[in-house]
């Protein structure tokens, strides 16, 4: 193994990182991870920590899931690749589609369209939504609605419905006809409303208002995360998503649940939509579908939407969309093994139990440290703490200080992720109470260093 400085030098010279300034890896060399096992990662200097990030919200079953590794190895031997564009299929993608159909049956979703990741899934759902209305003879329904603070990947469509300027401004002009509704973000919102239920009502009123303003006849779909993730873990009030569902149905607007993070147990429910008692028309999945071991995703499609496509006799339903790696057999094999392990281990139950411990521990840290302005979580293993330099004015903390908390937390035994003023936690769903304790103790030391 090359030493740390050698790798950092080469990294700075030859590699640009996603979501980073290209010059940043020279000034602040990244932590170089070389190994992982269970819920722990190890860097090139031999420092081992609990992974509070779970890869990137995707390694739900940890880093040592033998059945997935074996399935990948076996499939590489048997059929390492073949396309599933019109005219060919393979046993693995067929078996997976049947398993996904069973898994998502309670969500009313029965058909799968494969992708190679979350951004691809979002792009696919947006395109299918427009096509759905065209098949039905409502070609004017082309616009999209979404939530401010929402994250939907970085393709042009996804960036257009994205609710964070950081992922938009440099790439404008984006897709026309994308309109954003205030997010039910209790800590900061334009209404100054601190009660989650009343805030949900205000955001819903804004949604109705925007639909009336744009005209329901111009809108194809509303896309939302059941719990907003990358935007800072924002769980809406329980009344919110069911009401969005009702408003969409009333206006013939498709509801796309972006469950790239929330599907497969992270919220404590098997899907975020199910957690809130909602059946979406389309659902975007990726990430934990293969436990992060292979780039793969699936858009799940409801019976009602599927029937419109399948019942078309005009040719309008021919799908002019797909990726070389749509239905990659190795990804499908990984997903099959992952789904079996995910269900066998009932990771959603552990997510709910450990998530409650983590959330309670973060609330206790808030009592101790004024710098913690807000603690969000309470729905499985996705939590965030939002840091402020002053609690009364809610002034966001400076970058240097939050990075210091992250670095000291890492030194003390846990990897956590900084996103704007938030520290985000999305550990593997298989972690133990002891691991939760390790994360909280390390964060305590991180905050004490300020
Ligand atoms: N949608 C959501 C809700 C996400 O969280 C992400 C990734 N964090 C994406 C889409 C994009 O996924 P990917 O990075 O795999 O393209």
Choose the CATH number for 67-344 among 3.40.50.300, 3.20.19.10, 3.40.640.10, 3.40.50.2300: 3.40.640.10
Q: What is the pLDDT of residues 10-69, one digit of tens each?
A: 999 999 999 999 998 888 899 999 999 999 999 999 999 999 999 999 999 999 999 999
Which residues surround ligand 1 with Cβ inside 6 Å?
117-119, 122, 151-153, 225, 229-230, 258, 260-261, 286
pTM of the model: 0.98
Residue ranges of the chain assigned to CATH 3.90.1150.10: 31-61+346-448
Q: What is the pLDDT of residues 82-118, one digit of tens each?
A: 999 999 999 999 999 999 999 999 999 999 999 999 9
**DSSP letters along 358-388, please?**
HHHHHHHHHHH-TTEEEEE--SSS-EEEEEE
Atom of ligand 1 nearest to the CA of 150: 3
ipTM surpasses cut 0.85: yes
Residue nearest to atom 6 of ligand 1 (CA): 153
Measure 445 CA to ligand 1 centroid, in angstroms: 31
Measure 259 CA to ligand 1 centroid, in angstroms: 9
Q: Which of 17, 151, 282 to mutate to test the pocket of ligand 1 (most atoms within 8 A of CB)?
A: 151
Choose the CATH number for 31-61+346-448 among 3.40.50.300, 3.40.50.1110, 3.90.1150.10, 2.160.20.10: 3.90.1150.10
Atom of ligand 1 nearest to the CA of 122: 10
Residue ranges of the chain assigned to CATH 3.40.640.10: 67-344
Measure 119 CA to ligand 1 centroid, in angstroms: 6
Measure 315 CA to ligand 1 centroid, in angstroms: 32
Output b/e per residue, 149-186; b: 16+ Cβ within 10 A: bbbbbbbebbbbbbbbeebbeeeeebbeebbbbbbbbb
- Using left for φ > 0, alpha for ψ between -120 and 50, and beta otherwise, residue 205 falls in alpha
Residue nearest to atom 15 of ligand 1 (CA): 118
């Amino acid at each position: 193994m090359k030493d740390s400085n050698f790798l950092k030098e080469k990294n700075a010279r030859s590699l640009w990182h996603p979501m980073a300034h290209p010059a940043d890896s020279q000034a602040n060399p990244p932590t170089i991870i070389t190994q992982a096992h269970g819920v722990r990662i190890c860097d090139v200097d031999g420092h081992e920590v609990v992974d509070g990030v779970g890869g990137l919200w995707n390694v739900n079953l940890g880093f040592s899931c033998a059945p997935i590794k074996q399935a990948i190895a076996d499939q590489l031997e048997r059929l390492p690749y073949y396309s599933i564009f019109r005219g060919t299929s393979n046993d693995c993608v067929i078996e997976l589609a049947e398993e996904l159909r069973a898994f998502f049956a309670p969500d009313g979703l029965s058909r799968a369209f494969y992708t190679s990741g979350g951004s691809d899934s979002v792009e696919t759902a947006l395109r299918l939504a427009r096509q759905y209305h065209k098949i039905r003879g409502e070609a004017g329904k082309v616009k999209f609605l979404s939530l401010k603070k929402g994250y939907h990947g970085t393709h042009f469509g996804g960036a257009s419905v994205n609710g964070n300027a950081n992922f938009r401004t440099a790439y404008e002009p984006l897709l026309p006809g994308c309109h954003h509704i205030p997010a039910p973000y209790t800590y900061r919102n334009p209404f100054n409303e601190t009660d989650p239920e009343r805030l949900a009502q205000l955001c819903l009123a804004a949604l109705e208002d925007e639909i009336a303003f744009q005209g329901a006849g111009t809108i194809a779909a509303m896309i939302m995360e059941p719990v907003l993730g990358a935007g800072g873990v924002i769980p809406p009030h329980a009344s919110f998503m069911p009401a969005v569902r009702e408003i969409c149905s009333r206006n013939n607007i498709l509801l796309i649940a972006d469950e790239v993070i929330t599907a497969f147990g992270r919220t404590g429910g098997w899907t975020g939509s199910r957690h809130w008692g909602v059946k979406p028309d389309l659902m975007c999945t990726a990430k934990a579908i293969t436990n992060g071991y292979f780039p793969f995703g699936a858009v799940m499609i409801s019976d009602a939407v599927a029937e419109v496509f399948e019942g078309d006799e005009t040719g309008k339903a021919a799908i002019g969309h797909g990726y070389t790696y749509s239905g990659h057999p190795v990804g499908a094999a990984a997903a099959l093994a992952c789904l079996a392990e995910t269900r066998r281990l009932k990771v959603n139950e552990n997510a709910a139990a450990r998530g409650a411990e983590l959330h309670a521990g973060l609330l206790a840290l808030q009592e101790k440290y004024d710098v913690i302005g807000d603690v969000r979580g309470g729905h499985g293993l996705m939590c965030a703490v939002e840091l402020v330099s002053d609690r009364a004015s809610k002034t966001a903390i400076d970058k240097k200080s939050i990075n210091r908390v992250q670095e000291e937390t890492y030194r003390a035994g846990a990897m956590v992720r900084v996103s704007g003023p938030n520290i985000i936690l999305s550990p593997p769903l298989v972690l133990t109470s002891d691991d939760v304790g390790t994360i909280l103790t390390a964060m305590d030391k991180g905050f004490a260093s300020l």
